[in-house]
Structures are given as structure tokens and as C-alpha cells.
């Protein structure tokens, strides 16, 4: 089972291979947003993989559409296939005027 660490929240655990980063966050009790419930349509579940990014599934076309920057993935789309170190990514609130 892969070791999954949320570096920004001091959480870690051994979780089943193939689990999404969002599911991993929920199981470990990490604070992460997921407004669309994992449908891939809100982009609030962003995570940055800072250790062993090669152990995540390849980028989905859906993720490319968000232009999230290097190393940043949608937690609900990125599946974990080996040990990884992750950080949740906070998205600033939109300012409406």
C-alpha cells in the first residue's frame, strides 16, 4: 500500500493503491475543498505533488483545461500508485464588486 503524506497538514497513512488524492485526503482527515463532489468540474480540490509525482496517474485532459501550473493536479482525478508527498492548494476567494 502506498504511503501518502499531506505535508502541509502533518498527516500520513498507508492507503490502497489506485485511490484518488481527494479520497486519500478524506480518509486521513485533511482539509480539502471538493465543491462538485469529485466530478472534476470545480477545481477546488487542487493538490501539489512535491514528492514522487511520477507515482500519480497521468494528467487527464480535464485537468489540462484548468491551467493549474506545474505539479498541481485535481485531487479527484489524480490516482495514487506509489508513495507520494502532497500539499493541498488553497484557491483565493474571488472578489466580486
Q: Which residues bind ligand FES (CB under 6 A)?
A: 22, 34-36, 38-45, 74-76
Query: What is the DSSP code (8-state) at residue 55?
Result: G
User: Strands, DSSP E only, in the chain?
Assistant: 3-6, 11-14, 46-51, 72-74, 84-88
Three-state secondary structure call for residue 12: strand
1 or 37, CB closer to ligand FES? 37
* Residue 14 or 67 with smaller CB distance to ligand FES: 67
Residue nearest to ligand FES (CB): 76
Give the shortest CB-20-to-ligand FES separation in angstroms.
9
Maximum C-alpha span of the chain: 48
Q: How far is the CB of 62 from ligand FES (least distance, A)?
A: 8
Amino acid at each position: 500500500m502506498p504511503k501518502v503524506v499531506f505535508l502541509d497538514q502533518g498527516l500520513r497513512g498507508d492507503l490502497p493503491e489506485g485511490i484518488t488524492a481527494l479520497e486519500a485526503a478524506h480518509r486521513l482527515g485533511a482539509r480539502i475543498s471538493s465543491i462538485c463532489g469529485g466530478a472534476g468540474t470545480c477545481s477546488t480540490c487542487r493538490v501539489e505533488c512535491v514528492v514522487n509525482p511520477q507515482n500519480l496517474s497521468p494528467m487527464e485532459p480535464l485537468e489540462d483545461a484548468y491551467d493549474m501550473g506545474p505539479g498541481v493536479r485535481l485531487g479527484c482525478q489524480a490516482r495514487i500508485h506509489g508513495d507520494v508527498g502532497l500539499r493541498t492548494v488553497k484557491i483565493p476567494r474571488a472578489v466580486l464588486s
